[in-house]
């Protein structure tokens, strides 16, 4: 009975905490001031410092242990279901609810509240003016020329190690932090995922592990996309929760790096988003623009496409739908379509120079 009372008390405390955290999320200004640019900076930096001590992704191990624990409890409950007493019918559900409430509170405290911060585009002074189809085509032409020119300068693509990516990406962020403290990146911690084959099979380039503070890279990826992906994942480490906003930080950081391989990686990735948008809105213009791409750039598109085809098969469609649902659950109502917000920001970043040029 003492245990049962303890679980009830724990439930009341956890529900109260969860409600307070949930309500706090309705005040983006307060979240930004006291959490995203306050408490989170310290907790994330501390997590990265601890995680960086280990040469492997401890976040993967933590998640594996959590999944194993849940499976163990399910199997144990199934085996002992006939021996359960009457009070256990109340106690066990209480324990399950408390377990998931603890996970919710921890997730929100170590990273999840960043979903409620104001848009990072506001902090960077980037507008949200919509473009016309004509303007979108102009933007596409600009990025094709830029990507082509960078490809000609690139030379042989380095075969990156995870340590090289960490140091080069940290240096790129350090350079950007001179312009805006949003890019300040202390205690770098970029890790290779423990099972790159499985991550590739699911269709993931990289991910952030909130419980360990690690940015995790799929090192099976083609080397020419790794610089941008590493900068994107570091963006998540800095408290940028939404994918489109992490795309923005990744682009700004990698494209402003003095390393031409980083510049190419960023512009190549943005070109993919822009061409996809043009293909949906104006297929004829898409065909004309596609003809302007250098054979070397087209070869990279082909390499990346073959990479995903090799690993994904039919899994990609299912995981795409699952990830779309996850984004919507976290207030990203447009789901995966929200990735295309990056195109709006790219237009607003470059529209002055494009308007003058045209």
Query: Which pLDDT score is estimated for 310?
Result: 86
pLDDT mean across residues, the chain: 89
| Upper half-sphere CA count for residue 143 (Cβ side, 13 Å) | 30
CB atoms closer than 10 angstroms to residue 87: 11
**325-356 burial by CB neighbour count: b if 16+ within 10 A, else e?**
eebeeeebeebbebbbbbbbbbbbbbbeebee
Q: Quick check: 52 and 187 in contact, CB under 8 A?
A: yes
User: Residue 214 belongs to what H/E stretch?
Assistant: strand 214-217
Query: Which pLDDT score is estimated for 317?
Result: 54
Give the tokens for residue 2.
Answer: 């003492």
Instruction: Give every CB contact of residue 212 below 8 A, 6+ residues apart in sequence.
Output: 47, 50, 51, 57, 58, 59, 62
pLDDT tens digits for 101-115? 999 999 999 999 999
DSSP three-state, residue 1: coil
Dihedrals phi, psi of 19, to nearest 5 degrees:
-65, -45
The whole-number average pLDDT for the span 182-191 is 96
Q: What is the share, in percent, of the chain residues with pLDDT greater than 70?
A: 87
DSSP structure class, residue 132: P
Structural domain boundaries in the chain? 2-116, 121-357
d(CA 86, CA 18): 29
pLDDT tens digits for 223-256? 999 999 999 999 999 999 999 999 999 999 999 9
């Amino acid at each position: 009975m003492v245990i049962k009372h303890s679980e009830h008390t724990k439930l009341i405390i956890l529900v109260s905490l969860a409600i307070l955290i949930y309500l706090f999320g309705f005040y983006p200004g307060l979240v930004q001031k006291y959490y995203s640019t306050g408490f989170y900076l310290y907790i994330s930096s501390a997590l990265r410092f601890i995680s960086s001590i280990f040469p492997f992704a401890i976040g993967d191990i933590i998640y594996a242990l959590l999944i194993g624990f849940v499976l163990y409890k399910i199997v144990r409950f199934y085996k002992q279901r006939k021996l359960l007493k009457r009070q256990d019918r109340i106690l066990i559900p209480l324990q399950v609810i408390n377990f998931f409430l603890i996970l919710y509170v921890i997730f929100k405290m170590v990273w999840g509240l960043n979903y409620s911060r104001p848009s990072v585009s506001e902090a960077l002074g980037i507008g949200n003016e919509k473009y016309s189809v004509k303007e979108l085509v102009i933007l596409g032409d600009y990025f094709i020329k830029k990507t082509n020119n960078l490809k000609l300068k690139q030379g042989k693509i380095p075969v990156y190690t995870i340590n090289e990516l960490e140091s080069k990406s940290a240096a790129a962020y350090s350079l950007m932090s001179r312009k805006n403290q949003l890019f300040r990146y202390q205690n770098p911690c970029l890790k290779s995922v423990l099972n790159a084959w499985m991550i590739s099979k699911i269709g993931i380039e990289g991910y952030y592990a909130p419980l360990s503070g690690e940015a995790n890279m799929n090192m099976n990826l083609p080397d020419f996309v790794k610089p941008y992906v590493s900068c994107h994942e570091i963006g998540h480490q800095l408290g940028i929760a939404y994918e489109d906003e992490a795309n923005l930080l990744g682009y700004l950081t990698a494209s402003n790096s003095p390393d031409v391989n980083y510049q190419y990686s960023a512009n190549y990735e943005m070109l993919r988003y822009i061409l996809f948008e043009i293909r949906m809105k104006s297929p004829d213009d898409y065909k004309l623009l596609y003809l302007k791409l250098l054979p070397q750039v087209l070869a990279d598109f082909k390499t990346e496409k073959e990479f995903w085809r090799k690993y994904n098969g039919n899994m990609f469609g299912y995981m795409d739908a699952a990830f779309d649902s996850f984004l919507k659950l976290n207030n990203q109502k447009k789901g995966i379509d929200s990735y295309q917000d990056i195109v709006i920001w790219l237009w607003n970043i470059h529209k002055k120079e494009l308007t003058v040029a045209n």
